[in-house]
Amino acid sequence: MKKNIFLFVADQMRSDSMAHRGNPASITPNLDALVEEGVSFENAYCQNPVCVPSRNSFLTGLYPHTNGHRTMHYLRREEEPSI
């Protein structure tokens, strides 16, 4: 059977804002259901505090400075590798 990989990358969501991470005020049943059948990482590190360079790094496997992705104005180019 072929396995599926689902990457959920949220913007501006702290880990303690989800019910499965122990927040009694959060109501996140769909995200909690995904966690039951998948993985929820406790520690995560980003390569850049700005979202676009960080996402480019995540998608390409390269540090933001490698291909000039230093600010939000430098999007991933089509010729760059991507997952």
Nearest to 35 by CA among 3, 8, 75, 2: 8
pLDDT of residue 25: 92
Residues 53-63: b if buried by 16+ CB within 10 A, e if exposed: bbbbbbebebe
The pLDDT tens digits along the chain (83 residues) read 888 887 777 777 777 888 888 889 989 898 889 888 888 877 777 788 888 888 888 888 888 888 787 787 877 888 888 88
pLDDT of residue 64: 87
